[in-house]
Amino acid sequence: MKISNTYLSDIFIIDLFSFKDNRGEFVKTIHDKTFEENGLVYQFAESFYSISNKDVIRGMHFQKPPYDHVKFVYVVSGKILDVVIDLRMNSITYGKSFQIELSEENRKGIYIGKGFAHGFLALEDKSIVEYHTSISQNKEAEAGILYNSFNFDWPVEFPVVSVRDKEFLSLTEFKTPF
Protein backbone atom coordinates (compact mmCIF):
# COMPACT_ATOMS: atom_id res chain seq x y z
CA MET A 1 0.00 0.00 0.00
CA LYS A 2 1.11 3.51 -0.77
CA ILE A 3 -0.42 6.65 0.73
CA SER A 4 -0.09 9.97 -1.09
CA ASN A 5 -0.99 13.53 -0.08
CA THR A 6 -3.27 15.74 -2.16
CA TYR A 7 -3.49 19.53 -2.34
CA LEU A 8 -6.25 19.38 0.29
CA SER A 9 -4.93 18.67 3.78
CA ASP A 10 -6.49 15.55 5.32
CA ILE A 11 -7.35 14.03 1.92
CA PHE A 12 -5.12 11.12 0.93
CA ILE A 13 -5.00 8.73 -2.00
CA ILE A 14 -4.29 5.14 -1.12
CA ASP A 15 -2.93 2.72 -3.70
CA LEU A 16 -4.33 -0.59 -2.50
CA PHE A 17 -2.23 -3.73 -2.60
CA SER A 18 -3.46 -5.99 -5.39
CA PHE A 19 -2.21 -9.40 -6.48
CA LYS A 20 -3.56 -11.10 -9.60
CA ASP A 21 -2.93 -14.58 -10.89
CA ASN A 22 -4.80 -17.32 -12.73
CA ARG A 23 -7.23 -17.69 -9.80
CA GLY A 24 -8.33 -14.06 -9.83
CA GLU A 25 -7.36 -11.16 -7.60
CA PHE A 26 -6.52 -10.50 -3.96
CA VAL A 27 -6.86 -6.90 -2.68
CA LYS A 28 -5.72 -5.58 0.70
CA THR A 29 -7.74 -2.51 1.67
CA ILE A 30 -6.60 -1.74 5.23
CA HIS A 31 -3.21 -2.36 6.82
CA ASP A 32 -2.93 -1.02 10.37
CA LYS A 33 0.84 -0.37 10.29
CA THR A 34 0.68 1.58 7.00
CA PHE A 35 -2.23 3.70 8.23
CA GLU A 36 -0.55 4.24 11.61
CA GLU A 37 2.79 5.25 10.04
CA ASN A 38 0.91 7.94 8.10
CA GLY A 39 -1.08 9.17 11.12
CA LEU A 40 -4.41 7.90 9.75
CA VAL A 41 -7.33 6.34 11.60
CA TYR A 42 -7.57 2.64 10.76
CA GLN A 43 -10.11 1.40 13.27
CA PHE A 44 -13.51 1.91 11.70
CA ALA A 45 -16.87 1.68 13.47
CA GLU A 46 -19.07 1.08 10.45
CA SER A 47 -18.74 -0.26 6.93
CA PHE A 48 -21.23 -0.32 4.08
CA TYR A 49 -21.41 -0.32 0.29
CA SER A 50 -23.58 1.06 -2.47
CA ILE A 51 -24.35 -0.26 -5.94
CA SER A 52 -24.96 2.45 -8.52
CA ASN A 53 -25.79 2.52 -12.18
CA LYS A 54 -24.05 4.76 -14.69
CA ASP A 55 -24.80 8.50 -14.35
CA VAL A 56 -25.91 8.24 -10.70
CA ILE A 57 -24.56 11.01 -8.49
CA ARG A 58 -24.55 10.31 -4.75
CA GLY A 59 -23.64 13.25 -2.57
CA MET A 60 -22.41 15.59 -1.34
CA HIS A 61 -22.74 14.04 2.12
CA PHE A 62 -21.20 14.49 5.58
CA GLN A 63 -22.13 14.27 9.25
CA LYS A 64 -22.18 17.36 11.48
CA PRO A 65 -20.10 17.54 14.66
CA PRO A 66 -19.92 15.94 17.10
CA TYR A 67 -20.75 13.01 14.81
CA ASP A 68 -18.37 14.01 12.02
CA HIS A 69 -16.16 11.18 10.88
CA VAL A 70 -13.20 10.07 8.85
CA LYS A 71 -14.20 8.10 5.77
CA PHE A 72 -12.23 5.63 3.63
CA VAL A 73 -13.77 4.88 0.20
CA TYR A 74 -12.79 2.53 -2.63
CA VAL A 75 -14.39 0.70 -5.54
CA VAL A 76 -14.91 -3.06 -5.40
CA SER A 77 -16.14 -3.24 -8.98
CA GLY A 78 -16.93 -0.69 -11.66
CA LYS A 79 -15.69 2.88 -11.89
CA ILE A 80 -16.56 6.21 -10.28
CA LEU A 81 -15.47 9.81 -10.23
CA ASP A 82 -15.05 10.55 -6.54
CA VAL A 83 -15.36 14.16 -5.35
CA VAL A 84 -14.76 15.90 -2.02
CA ILE A 85 -15.25 19.54 -1.05
CA ASP A 86 -13.53 21.29 1.85
CA LEU A 87 -16.09 22.66 4.34
CA ARG A 88 -13.60 23.72 7.03
CA MET A 89 -14.19 27.45 7.48
CA ASN A 90 -10.64 28.29 8.61
CA SER A 91 -9.01 26.23 5.87
CA ILE A 92 -7.17 28.04 3.07
CA THR A 93 -8.88 25.59 0.71
CA TYR A 94 -12.44 26.18 1.99
CA GLY A 95 -14.91 25.55 -0.86
CA LYS A 96 -12.28 23.89 -3.06
CA SER A 97 -12.90 20.43 -4.42
CA PHE A 98 -10.75 17.44 -5.28
CA GLN A 99 -11.66 14.61 -7.62
CA ILE A 100 -10.16 11.28 -8.54
CA GLU A 101 -11.25 8.30 -10.58
CA LEU A 102 -11.53 5.17 -8.47
CA SER A 103 -11.99 1.82 -10.16
CA GLU A 104 -11.55 -1.90 -9.91
CA GLU A 105 -8.73 -1.47 -12.42
CA ASN A 106 -6.66 1.23 -10.70
CA ARG A 107 -7.35 -0.05 -7.15
CA LYS A 108 -7.10 3.37 -5.56
CA GLY A 109 -8.97 4.53 -2.49
CA ILE A 110 -9.55 7.94 -0.96
CA TYR A 111 -9.15 8.74 2.72
CA ILE A 112 -11.32 11.69 3.72
CA GLY A 113 -10.68 13.57 6.95
CA LYS A 114 -13.29 15.38 9.01
CA GLY A 115 -14.80 18.56 7.58
CA PHE A 116 -15.36 17.46 3.99
CA ALA A 117 -18.48 16.69 1.99
CA HIS A 118 -18.18 13.58 -0.19
CA GLY A 119 -19.93 12.30 -3.28
CA PHE A 120 -19.36 10.47 -6.52
CA LEU A 121 -20.58 9.92 -10.05
CA ALA A 122 -20.90 6.30 -11.22
CA LEU A 123 -19.13 5.97 -14.57
CA GLU A 124 -20.28 2.38 -15.14
CA ASP A 125 -23.39 0.35 -14.37
CA LYS A 126 -23.32 -1.68 -11.16
CA SER A 127 -20.39 0.21 -9.66
CA ILE A 128 -19.88 -1.09 -6.12
CA VAL A 129 -18.40 1.45 -3.71
CA GLU A 130 -17.36 0.45 -0.19
CA TYR A 131 -17.16 2.98 2.65
CA HIS A 132 -15.59 2.67 6.10
CA THR A 133 -16.35 5.36 8.69
CA SER A 134 -14.66 6.11 12.01
CA ILE A 135 -17.99 6.44 13.84
CA SER A 136 -21.41 4.99 13.17
CA GLN A 137 -24.04 6.80 11.17
CA ASN A 138 -26.21 9.25 13.11
CA LYS A 139 -29.43 10.16 11.26
CA GLU A 140 -29.83 13.51 13.06
CA ALA A 141 -26.27 14.57 12.09
CA GLU A 142 -26.60 13.72 8.39
CA ALA A 143 -26.27 16.68 6.06
CA GLY A 144 -25.08 17.64 2.61
CA ILE A 145 -24.29 20.28 0.03
CA LEU A 146 -26.20 20.53 -3.24
CA TYR A 147 -24.15 18.53 -5.74
CA ASN A 148 -24.09 21.22 -8.45
CA SER A 149 -23.59 24.29 -6.24
CA PHE A 150 -19.82 24.48 -6.02
CA ASN A 151 -17.10 25.01 -8.57
CA PHE A 152 -17.14 21.54 -10.12
CA ASP A 153 -18.49 20.48 -13.51
CA TRP A 154 -19.85 16.93 -13.29
CA PRO A 155 -19.12 15.14 -16.59
CA VAL A 156 -22.67 13.88 -17.12
CA GLU A 157 -25.48 15.32 -19.23
CA PHE A 158 -28.45 13.81 -17.37
CA PRO A 159 -27.45 12.88 -13.82
CA VAL A 160 -29.62 10.60 -11.72
CA VAL A 161 -29.87 12.21 -8.28
CA SER A 162 -32.06 11.34 -5.30
CA VAL A 163 -34.77 13.73 -4.15
CA ARG A 164 -32.93 14.10 -0.83
CA ASP A 165 -29.67 15.09 -2.52
CA LYS A 166 -31.47 17.66 -4.70
CA GLU A 167 -32.88 19.35 -1.58
CA PHE A 168 -29.55 20.13 0.10
CA LEU A 169 -28.55 23.79 0.45
CA SER A 170 -26.12 25.29 -2.02
CA LEU A 171 -22.58 25.98 -0.83
CA THR A 172 -23.29 29.73 -0.74
CA GLU A 173 -26.40 29.23 1.46
CA PHE A 174 -24.72 26.68 3.72
CA LYS A 175 -23.35 27.66 7.15
CA THR A 176 -20.49 25.30 7.93
CA PRO A 177 -20.29 23.66 11.36
CA PHE A 178 -16.59 22.86 10.81
pLDDT digits (tens, 9 = 90+) for 32-84: 999 999 999 999 999 999 999 999 999 999 999 999 999 999 999 999 999 99
| Spatial CA neighbour of 70 closest among 13, 11, 16 | 11
Q: Is 178 a domain residue?
A: no
Q: What pLDDT is recorded for position 147? A: 98
Q: Is 174 a domain residue?
A: no
User: Does residue 103 contact residue 80 with C-beta atoms inside 8 Å?
Assistant: yes
Structural domain containing residue 26? 2-166
Q: Which of 41-45, 107-111, 125-129 has the lowest mean pLDDT?
A: 41-45
Point out the catalytic residue in the list 61, 69, 118, 132: 61
Point out the catalytic residue in the list 42, 67, 94, 131: 131
Residue 131 annotated as catalytic: yes
Domain containing 13 — which CATH number?
Answer: 2.60.120.10
Q: How confident is the model at residue 16 (pLDDT cuts 50, 70, 90)?
A: very high
First-to-final CA distance of the chain: 30
Q: What pLDDT is recorded for position 31? A: 95
Q: What pLDDT is recorded for position 12? A: 98
Q: Is 130 a domain residue?
A: yes
Phi, psi of 32 (to 5 degrees): -55, -45
- Number of structural domains in the chain: 1
Q: Is 59 a domain residue?
A: yes
Q: What pLDDT is recorded for position 56? A: 98
Phi, psi of 148 (to 5 degrees): -110, 25
Q: What pLDDT is recorded for position 127? A: 98
Strand (E) or helix (H) holding 168: none
